[in-house]
Structure formats: structure tokens, C-alpha cells
Amino acid sequence: MQKKCKYKNSEIVIEELEGWAIEDARRRVRYHFEELRAVLAEQEKTAMAYIETETRGRLCALRQQQKDLTTTRSHVAGVCIQCESILDSEDWKLLSSSEKVKEVLATLEQQQQHYGQLGPDFLSPESSIPIIFSRDNRIHIGTKIDMRVVILGLDGAGKTSILSAMRGVTLSSPPIPTIGFNVESLEYMNLVFTLWDVSGHQKFRPLWKHYYHNTQAVIFVVDASDRSRFEEAQNELSKILYERELKDALLLIYANKQDIAGCASVEELVDIFGLHKLCCARVWHIQGSSLVSNASGTLQGLDWLLTQCV
């Protein structure tokens, strides 16, 4: 009898535990999708505000064009009246007005050149607004996706050299260490990158956080030939990954200077840095690079960013 009671009691406990576990799982699922809905609602709000701003900007531009055309039309009409007045003058007055005629003709020629330079967008403005979305639900006007990228890493890792390679510029000598930052714009396929190359010197690293706002991707450059600084580089990368403003940013790591003997391979760096564990909560990729033996590696990194955006 006691055994039966114990058995029944254990069944009740198991049922209660199962019920609790199921309810807890349901609660977590509901919470997850509530968060997703909240994020999507905020993204929709941001996108709609962006569209409203774009529409107002276009309307202002059209109104200004209309004013400019009205002014120009009045100017041309005035010139035509002036020409008719000169032509109706007596011959001797007409001859004495030759300089004035030249001025009037020059003005007409300028107006003709001005209208000849106007593109189809001015003469027949697009009635629709071309919109594309990136994978993170950001809205973009036009046919290209804008991406803000911050390039970080220790001093001497090769950040500026990587940036130059992206732009197709071959450096004839080692670049001067960056003081502060460099910023470059780069079009690649259907992406438009704004690349912020920030100094990696120790005294500038506390300033990195000022470049994180609205950043969609982080490029972290590691000097794979300098094993003595791997721990330092790993510590800095860890700090970056814990930054709240970068929690949704893509992470592209360049294992740079692969041409130097004794450098760590991509696979080695993954193990040494513990990247699978360190980057488990985000989208990341590591790419070998060398401006001597594998310059294409730099562009392969951009290709990866491209695939993550569209």
C-alpha cells in the first residue's frame, strides 16, 4: 500500500514538473515572439519616418525646380522682348546696339546650355520611390544599400593597408600610422560603404565607442604574424563584442599578413581566439589576407558582407 502511494505521489510530481516545463517553454516562446514583434514595429516606424522625410525632400526639390523654371521663363521672355525692341529700331540705332545684341545672344546661349544639361530626372521626375530592404530590415532609397563600417584592430595590424586595397590603391611604402581616423566612401557591387578606419594605438582605443552608433558591420584586422600580441587583440575584440550598440553588427575578421613566414593560419586564429565561443551570438566570418600574396582576400571579405546584406 505504501509503495502504491509513493508511486502515485511520484506520478503527480512528474506530471506537475512536466506541466511546469511545458508552461515555461510556452512562456519563453511567447516572450521571444513578443520581442520580435516589438523590434519589427520599431523598424516599421523608422522606415515610415524615412519615407516621409524622403517624400518631403522630393517635394521641396520639385517646388524649387518649379520656381527656377518660372524665373528662367520670365528671363527668357524679357530677353525676347528686348530683341524685338532692338530689331524694331531704326538702322543707325540697330548698328549702335551691336554690343547689346551680343550680350542678349550670349544670355540666350547660356539659357540654352543650361536646359541642355538638365537630365531626364529633372524634366520628367520619377513618380515612384524606388525602395530596397537589407536583411536587417533597413530601408534604402534607390538601387544601392548604404552600409556604415568601422575598421578596428591593434596598431600596426594593417587596417589602413586593408582600406587602401579595398579602394584598389597600391601603396608604394608602408602607410603612416593613423592619428585619429580616416573615412572613405566605397561603391562595391550594389553596396555603398562608408568606411571608418580608426587608429589602433592604445591611447585612442577608449575613443572607439564614439564610432559605434548606427554601425552595421565591424571589420577587425589581426596581424597574424605577431603572435606576441594575440592575447591583446583577443581582449580588444572581446570588448567590442560586448558593446550594446554593436550587438546586431556583422563581424568580419581579417587574418592579415598571411605572406609572412610563421604567421598563424585562419584555422589557428579561430582556435587561439576561441572565435566559435566568442562570436556564437552573432554573424561573423574570418578571412585570410595579404597585400603581397593574396590581395584578392580583401575583396572576398567584401563579398561576404554583400551576401549578408542582400
For residue 55, which amino acid is it? T
pLDDT digits (tens, 9 = 90+) for 281-308: 889 999 999 877 556 788 999 999 988 8
Q: Domain boundaries in the chain?
A: 1-135, 144-309
Nearest to 145 by CA among 89, 115, 84, 186: 186
Residue 264: the pLDDT is: 96
Which class in CATH covers the domain with range 144-309? Answer: alpha beta
Rounded Cα distance, 232 and 164, in Å: 25
Show binding-site residues for GTP.
Answer: 153-160, 200, 256-259
Q: Which residues of 118-148 are buried (b: 16+ CB within 10 A; e: fewer)?
A: eeeeeeeeeeeeeeeebeeebbbbeeebbbb
Asked if the model's pLDDT at residue 2 lies above 60, the reply is: no
Asked whether residue 69 carries a pLDDT value surpassing 60, the answer given is yes
Of 82-96, 143-157, 226-240, minimum mean pLDDT range: 82-96
Q: Give binding residues for Mg(2+) as ranges.
A: 160, 178
Is residue 187 within 8 Å of 220, Cβ to Cβ?
Answer: no
Q: Are 160 and 182 in contact (CB under 8 A)?
A: yes
Tell me the DSSP string of 52-77. HHHHHHHHHHHHHHHHHHHHHHHHHH
User: Taking phi first (over 0 means left), then psi (-120 to 50 degrees means alpha), and beta for anything else, what does residue 233 get?
Assistant: alpha
Q: Which residues are known binding-site members?
A: 153-160, 178, 200, 256-259
**Among the listed residues 242, 232, 178, 227, the one whose alpha carbon sits nearest the alpha carbon of residue 204:** 178
